[in-house]
């Protein structure tokens, strides 16, 4: 545990804004040709995807990197796997790096699965006989035996993913970098690949894993880093960091929770009542984005309208991040019909006293319908909701295995009184 | 990859980024990559590797027909088909190095964006694939030379001239006398690789940013073909007091091939000038490529 596997020192990455595909005249061409030799000094011409990121990882650690979209997670992984170069800073990788970035890895479409395994092995710097030795294991893990001599272009995305993971994990890299790929795999594959990552770490290898699924990070990782806008805001145990990760979301959703400016689906009426705000409340009525397991779920919804409407009903649906609807509640089921006029906006409170959602991230969808049951406004997956308080610790199985809700249950040995 | 497998990742700067040693460390990959490129290319084709032969053969027959039979181009006393082929072989190789080198980057963008290896492996691999094709051309050349040698002195009916539609009575039977220049052929090949890769690297880097570069290169290669003494000899056209031929690295190579295989006069020492040009093109290409390599990923 004492030796460092990865040392990252002040890594920054600057991207040129609008550089791609913006070449329209001779001047642009000249700029493009000479750009490697010039420094673009216009302040708005670039942005920093990563800013002064530093951390060090010991051998055997499993690091989870969490953060919003665009926080710089993928950029960091690309730098560590040397696909893009940093603009500033330095990173030292002690060992061979196997990487699985997005789905598919470095597969050559025309080549067969077998040829691609050898190609990727060579890319990792392995000798032919070493790859031969590991080949059977790779194929067995990926489960594509029957298609190993078929060109990869005919593989399904699941097969590519499984073979890609097997290649990255079994070609014995000292450092394994995995970018949010398990989310696409099926449950069986997810379980096996997490097991593989765990056993790699136990052998003293180092794993970096990026995920939006907090729960996976909690289960799998020994450490987590929270990236936001290219900077590290949290570094510690997964539980600590995920707590950290939720805090800014609380403030963000409460300070700016207006829904009016958001884009609506195309089928939504233009001139109709609008869902203006949604707030999740804690048990004493303060805005929050985190609810503790077993606590009541309380929503406050503001509705505005530019014309008088009557007999509307409001629908709230809760879904998991992998698109499973947990429940849908309708005000009309409880004989609640609302009338809204331009000078009298409405605030509705909806409480679900006991839902017992498993600790995870959920998404809330809002709908409002008029008296003809026509959808007036629809905001799919507009609000994030966290259920916290991990009851089982990091060994907890994934949601898909235990279910979405946790139920109260009574246990007894028959005959005892 | 070094033995200890420690990698230090830093921002690139200048010549330090030009790391040919790394390509050498990845030579296993170069080998696997070349093999898989070759196998992928012929995977879904019936004639397979024969295609490597068909193109240059057809070229030779057409050019021989047009320029020897119709236009009656002189060929310094050598059967025109052989004269032509000695120019066509290095040129085809050059063309494969340059155009293939350029497209090797954009074509493999999906791999480049997912996994690291020295990007120079791609154009180098392309050179290796082109060398594989070159072996076939080379074989054809040898076969034609043998046919010619067999047919000329003892009057075999079955001769190269007949095969290649140049069965016109030559003023005097020409005896092919390969010279010791053959030993220099690897050197000529190096020169072709240097020019071809250099140009491929420059245009590959440009092509990643704007796709016009590919079209421009196709035009330039076409101009180069007619500007190089392939269909004609340097004694026939000598543009700008011969400076075009002296500076054109490919002209030196073509002359070298004719000297080595056919026994035509050796290229003048100014050939070294064209070698310098070749080295220059290669260094410029490699340097520019390295400068762009790191930002290329952002736009590819």
Could you report the per-residue pLDDT of B229-263, keeping only the tens digit for each?
A: 888 877 766 666 667 777 888 988 898 888 888 87
A50: chain B residues, CB-CB within 8 Å: none
Instruction: Establish whether this prediction's ipTM goes over 0.85.
Output: no
DSSP A408: -
B262/B186 Cα distance (integer angstroms)? 16
A248/A254 Cα distance (integer angstroms)? 10
CA dihedral B195, B200, B202, B203 (to 10 degrees): 140
A363/A381 Cα distance (integer angstroms)? 5
Helix (H, G, I), strand (E, B) or coil at B112: helix
Mutation site, A13, A14, A85, interface B, largest B CB count within 10 A:
A85
Nearest to B209 among A32, A96, A111 (CB): A32
**Is A9 within 8 Å of chain B by CB?**
no
Determine, for residues A92 and B7 on separate chains, whether the beta-carbon distance falls below 8 Å. yes
Tally of CB atoms within 10 A around B163: 17
Of A5-19, A216-230, A347-361, B141-155, the least confident: B141-155
CB-based contact A304:A340 (threshold 8 Å): yes
Q: Name the residue among A115, A13, A101, A172 with its Cα closest to residue B5.
A: A172
With residue A136 as reference, give the H or E element that holds it: helix A128-142
Strands A297-304 and A88-94: unpaired
The token pair at B12 is: 């690139």
Q: Name the residue among B195, B164, B21 with its Cα closest to residue B99.
A: B195
A283/A388 Cα distance (integer angstroms)? 14
The token pair at B89 is: 């072989």
CB-based contact B28:A119 (threshold 8 Å): no
Nearest to A29 among B9, B116, B210 (CB): B210
Determine, for residues A119 and B1 on separate chains, whether the beta-carbon distance falls below 8 Å. no
Q: How far is B7 from chain A (nearest CA, A)?
A: 5
B278-298 per-position pLDDT tens digit: 999 999 998 888 877 766 766
pLDDT band at A328 (very low <50, low <70, confident <90, very high): very high
Sign, CA dihedral B9-B11-B12-B16, equals negative
CA dihedral A204, A209, A214, A215 (to 10 degrees): -50
B294: chain A residues, CB-CB within 8 Å: 84-85
Q: Name the residue among A314, A323, A284, A318 with its Cα closest to residue A387.
A: A318
Tally of CB atoms within 10 A around A373: 8
Chain A with chain B: Cβ pairs closer than 8 A: 134
Determine, for residues A91 and B299 on separate chains, whether the beta-carbon distance falls below 8 Å. no
B291: chain A residues, CB-CB within 8 Å: 36-37
Residue B197 has pLDDT above 90, yes or no: yes
Residue % of chain B over a pLDDT of 90: 18
CB-based contact A345:A304 (threshold 8 Å): yes
Beta bridge partners of B146: none
B109: chain A residues, CB-CB within 8 Å: none
A152/A158 Cα distance (integer angstroms)? 12
**B172 or A307: which carries more pLDDT confidence?**
A307
Specify the pLDDT at position A1. 44
Residues 6+ apart with CB under 8 A from B106: B204, B207, B208, B211, B214, B300
Nearest to A87 among B11, B112, B206 (CB): B11
CB-based contact B300:B112 (threshold 8 Å): yes
DSSP A119: H
Nearest to A23 among B32, B210, B288 (CB): B210
Q: How far is B111 from chain A (nearest CA, A)?
A: 4
Query: What angle do helix axes A128-142 and A113-123 make, rounded to 10 degrees?
Result: 130
A120/A408 Cα distance (integer angstroms)? 49
A161/A113 Cα distance (integer angstroms)? 12
Residue B169 has pLDDT above 70, yes or no: no
B109-138 per-position pLDDT tens digit: 878 888 888 888 889 999 999 998 888 888
Specify the pLDDT at position A255. 40
Count of positions (residues) in chain A:
417
The strand ranges marked E within chain B are 6-9
Residue B159 has pLDDT above 50, yes or no: no
Of A56-70, A331-345, A385-399, B276-290, the least confident: A385-399
Rg for chain A (alpha carbons), in Å?
25
Q: Break chain B down into helix, strand, coil percent, rounded to 5.
A: 70, 0, 25
| Mean per-residue pLDDT, A216-221 | 81
Beta bridge partners of A340: A309
Determine, for residues B108 and A108 on separate chains, whether the beta-carbon distance falls below 8 Å. yes
Helix (H, G, I), strand (E, B) or coil at A318: strand
Residue A75 has pLDDT above 70, yes or no: yes
Strands A62-66 and A223-228: parallel
Specify the pLDDT at position B18. 59
A241-270 per-position pLDDT tens digit: 876 665 544 434 444 556 666 667 666 666
How far is C-alpha A52 from the chain's CA centre?
23
Q: How far is A35 from chain B (nearest CA, A)?
A: 8
CB-based contact A205:A173 (threshold 8 Å): yes
Residues 6+ apart with CB under 8 A from B107: none
Residue B82 has pLDDT above 50, yes or no: yes
DSSP A379: E
Q: Which residue has the tokens 């991230």?
A: A361
């Amino acid at each position: 545990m004492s030796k460092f596997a990865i040392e990252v020192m002040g890594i920054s990455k600057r991207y040129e804004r609008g550089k791609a595909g913006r070449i329209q005249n001779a001047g642009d061409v000249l700029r493009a040709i000479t750009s490697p030799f010039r420094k673009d000094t216009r302040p708005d011409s670039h942005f920093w995807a990563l800013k002064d990121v530093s951390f060090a990882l010991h051998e055997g650690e499993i690091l989870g990197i969490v953060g919003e979209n665009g926080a710089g997670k993928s950029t960091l992984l690309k730098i560590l796997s040397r696909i893009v170069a940093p603009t500033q800073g330095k990173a030292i990788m002690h060992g061979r790096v196997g990487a699985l970035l997005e789905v598919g890895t470095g597969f050559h479409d025309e080549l067969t699965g077998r040829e691609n395994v050898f190609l990727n092995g060579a890319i990792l710097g392995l000798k032919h006989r070493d790859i031969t030795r590991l080949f059977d294991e790779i194929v067995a893990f990926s489960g594509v035996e029957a298609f190993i001599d078929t060109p990869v272009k005919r593989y399904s995305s699941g097969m590519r993913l499984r073979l890609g993971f097997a290649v990255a994990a079994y070609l014995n890299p000292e450092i394994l970098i995995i970018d949010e790929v398990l989310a696409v795999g099926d449950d069986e594959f997810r379980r096996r690949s997490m097991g593989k990552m765990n056993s790699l770490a136990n052998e003293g290898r180092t794993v970096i894993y990026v995920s939006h699924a907090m729960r996976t990070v909690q289960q799998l990782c020994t450490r987590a880093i929270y990236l936001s806008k290219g900077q590290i805001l949290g570094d510690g145990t997964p539980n600590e960091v995920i707590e950290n990760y939720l805090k800014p979301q609380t403030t963000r959703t409460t300070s700016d929770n207006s829904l009016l400016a958001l884009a609506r689906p195309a089928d939504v009426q233009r001139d109709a009542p609008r869902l203006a705000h949604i707030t999740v409340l804690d048990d004493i009525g303060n805005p929050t984005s985190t609810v503790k397991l077993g606590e009541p779920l309380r929503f406050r919804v503001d509705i505005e309208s530019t014309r008088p409407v009557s007999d509307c009903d409001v629908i709230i649906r809760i879904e998991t991040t992998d698109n499973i609807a947990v429940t849908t509640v309708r005000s009309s089921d409880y004989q609640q019909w609302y009338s809204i006029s331009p000078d009298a906006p409405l605030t509705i409170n909806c409480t679900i006293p006991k839902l017992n959602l498993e600790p995870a991230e959920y998404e809330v969808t809002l709908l409002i319908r008029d008296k003809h049951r026509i959808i007036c406004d629809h905001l799919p997956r507009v609000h994030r909701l966290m259920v916290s308080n991990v009851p089982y610790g990091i060994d907890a199985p994934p949601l898909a295995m235990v279910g979405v809700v946790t139920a109260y249950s009574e246990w007894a040995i028959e005959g005892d009184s | 990859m070094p033995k200890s497998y420690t990698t230090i990742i830093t921002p690139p700067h200048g010549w330090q980024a030009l790391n040919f040693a790394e390509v050498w460390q990845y030579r296993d990959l170069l080998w696997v990559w070349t093999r898989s490129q070759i196998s992928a290319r012929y995977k879904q084709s019936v004639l397979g590797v024969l295609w490597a032969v068909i193109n240059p053969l057809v070229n030779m027959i057409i050019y021989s027909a047009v320029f020897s039979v119709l236009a009656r181009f002189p060929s310094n006393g050598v059967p025109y088909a052989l004269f032509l082929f000695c120019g066509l072989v290095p040129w085809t190789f050059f063309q494969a190095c340059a155009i293939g080198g350029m497209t090797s980057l954009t074509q493999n963008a999906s791999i480049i964006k997912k996994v690291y290896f020295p990007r120079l492996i791609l154009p180098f691999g392309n050179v290796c694939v082109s060398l594989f094709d070159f072996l076939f051309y080379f074989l054809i050349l040898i076969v034609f030379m043998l046919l010619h040698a067999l047919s000329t002195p003892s009057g075999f009916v079955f001769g190269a001239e007949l095969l290649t539609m140049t069965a016109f009575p030559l003023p005097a039977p020409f005896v092919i006398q390969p010279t010791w220049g053959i030993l220099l052929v690897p050197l000529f090949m190096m020169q072709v690789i240097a020019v071809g890769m250099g140009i491929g690297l420059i245009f590959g880097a440009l092509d990643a940013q704007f796709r016009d570069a590919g079209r421009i290169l196709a035009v330039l290669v076409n101009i180069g073909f007619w500007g190089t003494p392939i269909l004609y000899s340097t004694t026939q056209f000598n543009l700008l007091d011969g400076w075009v031929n002296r500076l054109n690295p490919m002209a030196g190579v073509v002359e070298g091939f004719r000297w080595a295989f056919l026994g035509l006069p050796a290229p003048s020492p100014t050939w070294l000038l064209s070698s310098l040009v070749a080295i220059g093109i290669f260094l410029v290409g490699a340097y520019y490529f390295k400068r762009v390599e790191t930002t290329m990923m952002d736009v590819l």
